[in-house]
C-alpha cells in the first residue's frame, strides 16, 4: 500500500477565515477523494479530485466553499473557505490504488471558533 | 439513493467473538469494506469483499456477505481490548455512482476486560 499524509493534522481557526489542507501520496494514484466527518458522525464524500480538470462535487458541496486543486497524481489540496463553526470536522483525503482498495489519510481535525 | 445502516453500539467481553452487522441498499455495489477508527485517528482499512463472494477470512476477521438480503457482517474472533474502536462498513457503487464509497454510521465496539 502507499503512504498518505495530510497537513496540518489539526488547526483552530477563526470564523470567516480560510484553511487549505494538503494531501500527499507517495505513489501516483488515479483517483483521490475528499471526505468530511462531522463530530460523532460518519463520513461524507465532498468531491472527487480530478488531475488536470475541475473537481467533481457531491450534492450539498460547492466549489466556492470547498475549492480543490490536483496539480499532479500525488498531491491535492482542499480549501475550506469563509469558515463557520459548522465547518468544524475532520477532513480526510482518500485514494484508490486499484478498483478494490481505498485508503484514507490520517485526517485534519478542524475547529472553527 | 444509496443507504448503509449499522447498529450504533456493541459491547463484548474480552476473548469472546464480536459480530458487527451492516445492511445496504445499492444492488450494484461492487465491493464492501470494513474500516476501523480509533479515537483521534484516521480510518484503517481492515478488509474488503468483492460483491460476488460469500465469505472472506483474514486471521481473526471473517466477513460474511448475503447479497440477496444485502447484509454484511464482520466477525472478530478472540476480541481484545485493542479492538475497541468504531467500525464503519462502506459500499462502493458501480460506474454509475463513480465508484464512490457510501459509509454507514459506524458501530462503536467496547471490549470489557
State the 10-residue block means of pLDDT for chain A, 113 residues long.
88 97 91 92 91 89 96 94 97 84 92 97
The CA distance from A43 to the nearest CA of chain B, in Å, is 6
In this structure, the number of other CB atoms found within 10 A of the CB of residue A29 comes to 19
Mean pLDDT of B71-82: 96
Is A31 close to B99, i.e. CB distance below 8 A?
A: yes
Contacts of A45 in chain B (CB under 8 A): 100-101
**For residue B109, with 0-12 CB atoms within 10 Å meaning exposed, 13-18 middle and 19 or more buried, which class applies?**
buried
**For residue A1, what is the nearest residue in chain B, using CA coordinates?**
B45
Is A99 close to B104, i.e. CB distance below 8 A?
A: no
∠ CA B108-A93-A75, rounded to 5°: 160
**For residue B37, what is the nearest residue in chain A, using CA coordinates?**
A106
Give the integer Cα–Cα distance in Å for B51 and A4.
27
pLDDT band of residue B1 (cuts 50, 70, 90) is low
Amino acid at each position: 500500500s502507499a503512504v498518505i499524509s495530510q497537513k496540518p493534522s489539526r488547526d483552530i481557526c477563526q470564523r470567516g477565515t480560510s484553511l487549505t489542507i494538503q494531501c500527499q501520496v507517495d505513489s501516483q494514484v488515479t483517483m483521490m477523494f475528499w471526505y468530511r466527518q462531522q463530530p460523532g458522525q460518519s463520513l461524507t464524500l465532498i468531491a472527487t479530485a480530478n488531475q488536470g480538470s475541475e473537481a467533481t462535487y457531491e450534492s450539498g458541496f460547492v466549489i466556492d466553499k470547498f475549492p480543490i486543486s490536483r496539480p499532479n497524481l500525488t498531491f491535492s489540496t482542499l480549501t475550506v473557505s469563509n469558515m463557520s463553526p459548522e465547518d468544524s470536522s475532520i477532513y480526510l483525503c482518500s485514494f484508490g490504488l486499484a478498483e478494490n482498495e481505498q485508503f484514507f489519510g490520517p485526517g485534519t481535525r478542524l475547529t472553527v471558533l | 439513493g444509496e443507504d448503509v445502516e449499522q447498529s450504533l453500539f456493541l459491547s463484548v467481553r474480552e476473548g469472546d467473538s464480536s459480530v458487527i452487522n451492516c445492511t445496504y441498499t445499492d444492488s450494484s455495489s461492487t465491493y464492501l469494506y470494513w474500516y476501523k477508527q480509533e479515537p483521534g485517528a484516521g480510518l484503517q482499512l481492515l478488509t474488503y469483499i468483492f460483491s460476488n463472494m460469500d465469505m472472506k477470512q483474514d486471521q481473526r476477521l471473517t466477513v460474511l456477505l448475503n447479497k440477496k438480503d444485502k447484509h454484511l457482517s464482520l466477525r472478530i474472533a478472540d476480541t481484545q481490548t485493542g479492538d475497541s474502536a468504531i467500525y464503519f462498513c462502506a459500499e462502493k457503487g458501480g460506474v454509475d455512482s463513480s465508484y464512490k464509497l457510501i459509509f454507514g454510521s459506524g458501530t462503536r465496539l467496547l471490549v470489557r476486560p
